[in-house]
Structures are given as structure tokens and as C-alpha cells.
Amino acid sequence: MSVKRKRFRVEQAMGEVVMPEPEVAGGGELGPMHREIMAELRSIRAQMAAAPAQRTGDTVDAAVAREVAETHALLETYRAQVEQCEKLKVELDLIHDAISRTKREIAVLHGKSFNGEEMAKVNGELGAVVGGTEQATQQILEAVEAIDQAATALANNVTPDQQKRLSEDIQERVVSIFEACNFQDLTGQRISKVMQTMKFIEQHINEMMNIWGGVDAIKTHVPPIVDTREGDARLLNGPKLDGDAGHASQDDIDAMFN
């Protein structure tokens, strides 16, 4: 006859099926020491059964934590890349705007200054200046030469009629010189037209330079100037302007010969 054993709380919580304890000869009950030993064994068995589940839970938690950390790192990387892309877009927008503005300036220059009609007009004005200057110079030289000849004739013994004709000729030549000097007014008007065109071009070129950072930024890209002239050509710099440096004055030249 077997003795019905009481189930412990650990056994009830784990839901394990506990093997019946061995029968005691003579139908006696188990001793207190035996019950305690069996209770400890059951407790150890319950802990051993729960250990794999505990380890599995810990592994899952570690994997989840690792995935969360990796996802967070990927999000941070993506956020940094998005910020870099936004900065790049801003820079590209600035470049696009600068190129568009430069195109507009070039279009204005081409439409108002660099087209065939405007350039032909500028060339025509400069050609007229040169031609007018040459013609006036020739007229003045011819008049001066005629005056010189008339003055030489007056120095000789001439009749009153010849003296009168020479005097009238000198007066005509003087009037011719005054007329030739009017080229200066025409030349000034023509050069003013050319200067207006050049100022218009200069204004829009300066605007394009300002678009790309100003004169200082452009200077960094200017190639070094190399004078390739040879011989006397290196000495021919044309007439100097007021305030130009590097030119000898007439006083300096006179001092060299004194």
C-alpha cells in the first residue's frame, strides 16, 4: 500500500509530474529527513528545467538589443548623409543661380554690344576718328606750308598788287586751319559714343565678376603676364597718361643732356 504524497508549491508552479515516492515497509510514513531531501531534489530539478528557458530569453534580449543598436547606428548614418545632401543641394543651387545670372549678363552683352550691328558701329566710329584726324592734319599741314611760302614771298620786293594777293592767301589759309581744327569736336563726339559702349561692357563684366566672388576671387585665376615682345617693340609703350608711373619726364631727359 502506497502513501499519498503532498505536492510542493514548486511542483505546482512548474506543473511537473512527480514520481511517487517508494513505499515504506510496514506501511509507515516517511521520516522528516527524507521529505526534506526529496523536496530539495525537486527544487534543484525545477531550477535545472527553468535554466534553458532563462538562457533562451537572455539570448533573445541580447539579439534584440543588438539589432536596436545597429538600427540606431544606421539611422544616425542616414541622418548625417541627408544633412550632407542638403548642404550639397544648397551649394548646387548657388552655383546654378550664379551660372544663370552670368548667362543673363552675357546675353545682355551679346544683344546690346557684341552683336554685328553694334560692333560695326563701334568700328565705324573709330575708323571715322582716324580718318578725320588724318584729313585735318593734312589740311593743316598744307595751309601752313602755303602760309610759309606766302611769307617768304612777302619778304622779297613785290608789287603792291602781289602783296595784297599774298596777304589774302595767308588769310584764307588761316581760315582753313581753323576749319580743320573742328575735327577735335567731331572726334570727341565719336569717341564718347565708343566710350559709352565700353562702359556698358565694363559694367556687365564687373557684374559677372561680382557674381563669382569679386575681383579678388578672379585674380587668383589670372595667369601670369609674360611680355613676349622682342627688340625695340619692348620699348614701345605709346604716349603716357597723366599719373602713369615708370615714364621719364621732359625735365629728366633735359637733365641727362646737361
Domain boundaries, the chain: 9-88, 113-212
Per-residue pLDDT of the chain (258 residues; tens, 9 = 90+): 444 555 555 445 444 444 444 444 444 455 566 677 777 777 776 766 655 555 555 566 677 777 778 888 888 888 888 888 888 888 888 888 888 888 888 887 776 666 667 777 778 888 888 888 888 889 999 999 989 888 888 878 778 888 888 888 889 999 999 888 888 888 888 888 888 888 888 888 888 888 887 777 777 767 777 778 877 777 776 666 666 666 677 777 777 786
Here the cell at position 106 is 552675357
- ∠ at Cα 102 (223, 104), nearest 5°? 145
The Cα 110–Cα 117 span in angstroms is 11
- Label residues 149-171 b or e (16+ Cβ within 10 Å = b): ebeeeeeeeeeeeeeeebeeebe
Distance between CA atoms of residues 222 and 233, nearest Å = 24
The topology (CATH level 3) of 113-212 is: Helix Hairpins (1.10.287)
* Contact call for residues 24 and 3 (beta carbons, < 8 A): yes
| Helix %, strand %, coil % of the chain (to 5) | 75, 0, 25
| pTM of this structure | 0.48
Amino acid 131: pLDDT: 87
- H/E stretch holding 48 reads helix 32-112
